Structure 1
Amino acid sequence: MDNSTSVAGRIAQNSVFERFARAGFVMSGIVHLLIGYLAIRIAFGGASGTADQSGAMTELAGKPGGIIALWIGVVAFLVMALWRLAETALGSASQPDADSKKAEAIDRFKAFCVAVVYFAFAFSALGFARGRGKSSGAQSAGLTARLMHTTTGTVCLVAGGLIIIGVGGYHVYKGFSRSFLQDLKDAGSDFVRWLGTIGYIAKGLAIAAAGLLIILAATQSQPNKATGLDGAFKTLGAQPYGALLLVVAGLGIITYGLYSFVMARSTKM
């Protein structure tokens, strides 16, 4: 084991650091449960709202103790992001013996991508904890509109959409192949395996749909289509049997949320 790996190990295995990092999985689970709930509520014609990260945090902020939970989330998401950033720079402490330099580079890149996601979660949670949260869908549409003013910006949007579709495809692959089991300390029960399989596939399809909407928005000069996960859900709801499809999608996201609680307990760190 080289020096960088041992440093990563010491960081990840610090008891306080590890507990807060694992709390990031718990908060992620709560956010996904709320997103799934909002999607199902929209399917049944419930109150208006956005079925995405910002909608989930708005819902949480309105509950008793929600602001405190959001502040806890800020810390938990931030520590989770720092853990993944440490893996990016130093390598994984739980899998120190990479099969090849290429495999190690891919693992570090994936760790960096996850770090970016959790930094974004922390920033968003901070905004809602301070009462200044903004709709992620509206921000996405606004950014798309600004980038579409130039050819370079449009190309970047299409490239970004393709990357997001790729991330969604990776989630779907991870669900079908059950490679997510490699991230856990043990294989778990059949129930855990099915939670992960359904959850990863559902989340992957939702992410891929959001990426496709970005490409359509850029190529059709309609920035309002690029509203992220909420736009993907509402586009799905506008299809024939849309309400049923939305319920199925919402249940899939809820399943991923439940699997996040498994990750909080059993992920290798």
Structure 2
Amino acid sequence: MKCIFTLLMTFWGFLLSPVADAALWTITYPRPIDDTDARTEYPIALLKLALDKTGVNYELLPSDRILLTGKALRQLRENREVNVVWSMTDTQREKDLLPIRIPIAKGLIGMRVFVINEEKKDKFAQVKSKGDLLKLTPLQGEEWPDTKILQANGFNVFTVPEFKQAYALLLQGKGDFFPRSVIEITAEMETAGRGSVLQVEPEMALYYPTAMYYFVSKSNPTLARLIETGLERAIADGSFDDLFLSTHKTLLESLNMDSRRIYTLENPLLPPNTPVGNKQLWYSVVTP
């Protein structure tokens, strides 16, 4: 009896020990402005898929407070509040953080259609070339890589602290257009554009080669390897593409991407290690 009691105590002691606790991965991502923000659904679902593929025991949680992208990246760099962030890459972000170089949106983050005020739609009817488009003023976020890309290609960019303010300015007739990724615009227009004078310009798009990655702190390479392994397994068994297409194919069709005039821009911020040669990682409409 004493022997059995000792074994039971040893068993329960193990379950409560730090070693057992270490088996649970607590992974924290930035809480969005709105917990119902549909733009976060796919990155979270893909991260869950990748973690499930590894077989680890994990919990995936939002940060305690709302963190916009710039703040989230700074906190990640300091290994505080969050330990994974998904964001568009650039050379500086890859210096500061550890990127997992698998484009989670297969390059669609660089395919941009335009939110416009319908009072300015005649301006866009007159655009016949990239030169014509350069005469118009896009709105973008102050800390976004997109802003520097647009400026490097000759646009005079009107910057705002965060994306909701861009919608507010468009409603006021300021700026000409707000280029939004095809993976963002539908969800945003369902809220910001509903019942307003805002609309999606129907004829054009911009494309610049870029990728949205999961980033982790440089002090956390084990987590990076874990997520990368899970993503690679999901790619290999087809579940990555299944999730991607079930999320985005209908959106792309609704935006009539096949019939749009697409103006391609240079991306001077594209890091040299971007896996542009691996066609499996990119959606065909935006092959770099």
TM-score range, shorter chain: under 0.3
Q: Which has the higher helix share?
A: 1
TM-score, normalised with respect to structure 1: 0.23
Q: Which has the higher strand share?
A: 2
TM-score, normalised with respect to structure 2: 0.22
